[in-house]
């Protein structure tokens, strides 16, 4: 059955790092040698840790996350946790089960801080990465998916919002290639103008911004001072 990265992909979780080979579980007595493109892991799984997805046997979301998140970098782990919550693959109350199942594994100490900030409202891995950098930098957002009433009428929703300063600061996780979609670029600029007229400062972050730890948090902090 599929485990680890492969199980997460079968479940549809986003933010899972790409791997070239399929990870599968084998009985304790079986060889750990996989075939071409296959990594075999000896696993003793209970019946309640296995589920069928599209006709494929995979580990449950809780067991998948408990196996996978300790192996990932924090920004990857949070993205996968957020995605699982957003997709409704597990409830917030089940995060404690993930922590319990991950206990004792190498890297398990990194899991709990991520579970404490995992949020079903995050809509993309990039949003998760931006938020994690802000939390690490002491500028955690006040709201996710915050709705703003625009001066010209209508409403806009922003990915992250800080609302306790002299003026609101909003952040957008810009993972789209707007250069290939001029209409989207014009809409984004028009919306940014409307938000500016509402008295807000709008920051836009790309994947590149999250590659250096602290950069996003630094820019948010500077926005508070501007």
| Model pTM score | 0.88
Please report the pLDDT score of residue 187 as a whole number.
Answer: 66
For 95, the token pair is 């995060």
pLDDT of res. 33 = 59
Q: What is the pLDDT of residue 188?
A: 67
Bridge partner list, 158: 146
For tokens 């979780």, name the residue: 13
Contact status, residue 220 vs residue 172, Cβ threshold 8 Å: no
pLDDT of 194 = 76
Query: For residues 156 and 126, what is the distance between their CA atoms, to the nearest angstrom?
Result: 19
139: which 2 tokens? 């500028």
Q: Round to whole Å and give the CA distance between 83 and 81.
A: 5
Task: Determine the Cα–Cα distance for residues 19 and 9; give it in Å rounded to an integer.
Answer: 11
pLDDT the model gives residue 226: 80
What are the per-10-residue average pLDDT scores of the chain (226 residues)?
A: 94 94 76 68 87 95 97 97 98 96 92 97 97 98 93 85 89 66 61 74 94 96 90
Tokens 């917030």 locate to 92
User: For residue 115, what is the enclosing H or E element?
Assistant: helix 111-117
Structure confidence at residue 86 (pLDDT): 98
Residue 184: predicted pLDDT: 56
Longest dimension (CA), the chain: 68
Q: Say what the pLDDT of residue 179 is.
A: 45
Give the model's pLDDT for residue 193: 72
């Amino acid at each position: 059955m599929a485990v680890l990265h492969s199980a997460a992909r079968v479940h549809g979780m986003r933010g899972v790092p790409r791997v070239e080979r399929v990870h599968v579980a084998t009985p304790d007595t079986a060889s750990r040698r996989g075939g071409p493109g296959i990594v075999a892991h000896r696993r003793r799984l209970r019946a309640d840790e296995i589920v069928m997805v599209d006709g494929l046997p995979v580990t449950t979301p809780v067991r998948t996350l408990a196996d996978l998140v300790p192996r990932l970098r924090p920004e990857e782990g949070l993205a996968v946790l957020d995605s699982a919550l957003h997709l409704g693959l597990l409830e917030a109350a089940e995060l404690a089960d993930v922590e319990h199942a991950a206990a004792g594994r190498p890297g398990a100490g990194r899991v709990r801080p991520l579970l404490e900030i995992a949020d079903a409202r995050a809509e993309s891995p990039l949003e998760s990465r931006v938020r994690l950098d802000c939390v690490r930098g002491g500028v955690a957002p006040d709201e996710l998916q915050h709705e703003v009433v625009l001066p010209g009428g209508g409403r806009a929703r922003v990915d992250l919002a800080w609302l306790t300063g002299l003026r609101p600061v909003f952040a957008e996780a810009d993972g789209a290639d707007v250069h290939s979609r001029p209409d989207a670029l014009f809409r984004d600029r028009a919306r940014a103008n409307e938000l500016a007229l509402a008295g807000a400062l709008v920051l836009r972050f790309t994947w590149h911004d999250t590659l250096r730890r602290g950069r996003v948090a630094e820019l948010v902090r500077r926005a508070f001072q501007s």
